[in-house]
């Protein structure tokens, strides 16, 4: 099954590009502001501007758009489901009726609007992880959350957990694919039967996946302890994060684009 190989969230691909060289704090802030703006946008033109901005970042990162678009393919079921729900439950002018279900003009518009929003959210998240290494991501999150230390919040530990969670998404997907292939080789059938039967067929996948996940987490904890990891207190960094004028220019341009997309009413 190639379904799980297509997920790009959590993967990192090194390239010698402008986007890769940006300070991770800037990229995290930009991604967060972009996600917030996507939720606040109420116009089609705003989505168009955000989309052009994200694809420009992908081009500057020297990452092939096909790779990122391929990562959205596994989530097409969610997008299509969202479309269908809005098609049939949104009241308005009926343009087509199927038995007791009616497709409305407002439903089509609302469904497409939400689907594009989901598409842009996935795109902005994939762009961040594809261009930022797990180590840089951890350092960036830790630096951003440094002010929370005043309230005795463990910023380093939170950053570490978030980064490990992102890092293990592709690993868990690969593990799931291996388990599915092993079950198919033993005669398991995941395609036939009704919905309840298919859910029952996935139990032999979920149980070993949980067991392998806990085992992998235990191995990771042992490896960290063997390397004398005791949390972030008193730790130094091999590389010190330093913002340059390019980072400030990039942040300023991004803020300008986000403001334009938010206040666009077309």
Q: How far is it, in rounded angstroms, from Cα 159 to Cα 247?
A: 21
Q: Put residue 234 in one of left, alpha, beta given phi > 0 → left and psi -120 to 50 → alpha.
A: left
Contact call for residues 215 and 172 (beta carbons, < 8 A): no
Contact between 55 and 65 under an 8 Å Cβ cutoff? The reply is: yes
Residue-wise DSSP of 117-168: HHHHHHHHHHHHHHHS-HHHHHHHHHHHTGGGGGGT--HHHHHHHHHHHHHH
CA distance 2 to 140: 32
Residue 36 phi/psi, 5° resolution?
-65, -45
- Taking only the tens of pLDDT, the chain with its 266 residues reads 444 455 555 577 788 888 988 999 999 999 999 999 999 988 899 999 999 999 899 888 887 777 777 667 767 777 788 887 877 777 777 777 777 777 787 888 888 888 889 889 888 888 888 888 877 887 888 888 887 777 777 877 787 787 787 778 777 877 888 888 887 787 777 666 666 776 777 777 888 888 888 888 888 889 888 887 777 666 666 677 888 899 999 999 999 999 999 888 66
Domain ranges of the chain: 4-263
Q: What is the pLDDT of residue 118?
A: 87
* Local structure of residue 4 (DSSP, 8 states): G
CA proximity to 142, closest of 173, 163, 127: 163
Please tell me the distance from the alpha carbon of residue 163 to that of residue 129, in angstroms, as a whole number: 10
Structure-derived torsion over alpha carbons of residues 54, 56, 62, 67, reported in degrees to the nearest 10: 40
Query: Do the beta carbons of residue 28 and residue 166 sit within 8 Å?
Result: no
Q: How many residues are present in the chain?
A: 266
What are the Cα distances from residue 13, in Å, to 62, 68, 181, 196? 10, 11, 27, 39
State residue 1's pLDDT score: 47
Which DSSP state fits 113? H
Hunting for tokens 């799980």 — which residue is that?
4
């Amino acid at each position: 099954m190639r379904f799980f190989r297509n997920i790009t969230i959590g993967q990192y691909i090194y390239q010698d590009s402008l986007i890769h060289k940006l300070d991770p704090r800037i990229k995290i802030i930009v991604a967060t502001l972009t996600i917030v703006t996507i939720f606040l946008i109420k116009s089609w033109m705003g989505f168009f501007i955000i989309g052009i901005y994200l694809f420009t970042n992908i081009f500057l990162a020297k990452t092939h758009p096909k790779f990122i678009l391929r990562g959205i393919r596994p989530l097409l079921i969610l997008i299509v489901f969202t479309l269908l729900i809005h098609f049939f439950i949104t009241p308005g002018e009926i343009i087509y009726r199927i038995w007791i279900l009616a497709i409305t003009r407002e439903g089509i518009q609302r469904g497409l609007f939400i689907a594009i929003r989901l598409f842009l959210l996935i795109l902005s998240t994939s762009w961040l992880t594809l261009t930022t290494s797990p180590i840089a991501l951890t350092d960036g999150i830790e630096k951003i959350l440094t002010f929370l230390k005043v309230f005795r919040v463990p910023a380093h530990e939170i950053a570490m957990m978030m980064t490990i969670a992102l890092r293990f998404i592709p690993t868990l997907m690969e593990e799931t694919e291996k388990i599915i292939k092993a079950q198919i080789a033993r005669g398991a059938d995941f395609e036939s039967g009704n919905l309840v039967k298919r859910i029952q067929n996935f139990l032999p996948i979920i149980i070993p996946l949980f067991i392998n996940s806990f085992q992998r987490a235990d191995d990771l904890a042992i490896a960290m302890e063997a390397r004398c990891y005791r949390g972030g207190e008193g730790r130094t960094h091999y590389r010190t994060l330093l913002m340059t004028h390019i980072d400030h220019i990039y942040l300023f341009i991004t803020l300008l684009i986000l403001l334009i997309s938010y206040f666009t009413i077309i």
